[in-house]
Amino acid sequence: MQQIKGATFEWIDFREPDADDILKVQKKFNLHPLAVEEFSTPTLRPKAIEYDNCLLLTIHVPLFDVNLKTTYPGELDIVITENALITAHDEDIWQLTEFFNEVKSNKNKKAEYMSESPAVLLRHIIDMLLESCFPKLDHISHKLDYVEVEIFDGHEKDMVQEISIVKRDILNFRRTLKPQRSVIESLAQGNYKLIPNELKPYFQDLIGTNIRVWNALESAKETVESLEATNNSLLSNKLNMTMKVLTLFSAILLPLTVYSNVMSMSVNIPFHTYSGAFWIHAGIMSVIALFTVLIFKFRKWL
């Protein structure tokens, strides 16, 4: 447990809170049991619930798994009271950790974020988490640029897996981000005792930030789908060309196979008395092959 004491309230941050930590906070701030329960219970959906003396928020932060190369949701539970803001999370949310350490170590930042009310700090935390999405989107954009270059450099097969990885990353990002908008809208439009009316325009501005992130995700989604369609088209075209070449070889060799089978019968074949019979038949087969190619050329099959 870490904490920062400001002029009017304190910020307490838990990483993997245990039963003792939860009990200590519940007694200190007289929190509702249902609000405290969220600290130890995973929640699949974001929500905002007001209790008698506190406001509970559950949001999910898009985090990136370097090993799996994909985005996954990290749950963040936030409780605000009149004189405290409490955050709890099981995952290491590096954005929040950096922000916490910055506020704790920098007097100017501490004065800026912790001189008014927990609701003001809450607004800054949500804004920081939304803004942290843009570097991740830039990374996805760079990845899409790389995939595009590789596709048109003739590496279509190698890009099949890369495109799938990027698509999964975008899909998980969208699944994490989309539900958060309803929570932000409830803060901007709802009548919560701990959210002053003068702060609602600021939360309304956060909706705009959320929309900007979502639009960037939509653009990335459309781009990766277009790249996938292009990649599949090029792969299909290469496969068709390969099949065409194999089919032409088979068609050219077919009359030669028939001719060689006929010549292998147990009967007297033409020119069998000549010493150069092999070359004569090889020449005949070459003429047949050339004639077949000319027919294909005439029919524009080549």
Domains of the chain: 2-237 (3.30.460.20), 240-298 (no CATH)
d(CA 255, CA 218): 56
Q: What is the DSSP letter of 36?
A: H
What is the percentage of the chain residues whose pLDDT exceeds 70? 96
Measured between alpha carbons, how far is 175 from 76 in angstroms, rounded to an integer? 16
Residue matched to tokens 């803060």 = 187
Q: Tell the residue number behind the tokens 């050329």, with chain if given.
A: 297
The C-alpha R_g of the chain, in whole angstroms, comes to: 34
C-alpha span between 206 and 100 (Å, rounded) = 20
Give the C-alpha separation, 157 to 151, whole Å: 9
Q: What are phi and psi of 82, to 5 degrees?
A: -70, -30
Cα(first)–Cα(last) distance of the chain, in Å? Answer: 74
- Does the pLDDT value for residue 222 go beyond 90? yes
pLDDT at 218 over 90: yes
Question: What was the pLDDT predicted at 215?
Answer: 93
* pTM across the whole model: 0.77
Q: In this structure, which amino acid lies at residue 302?
A: L
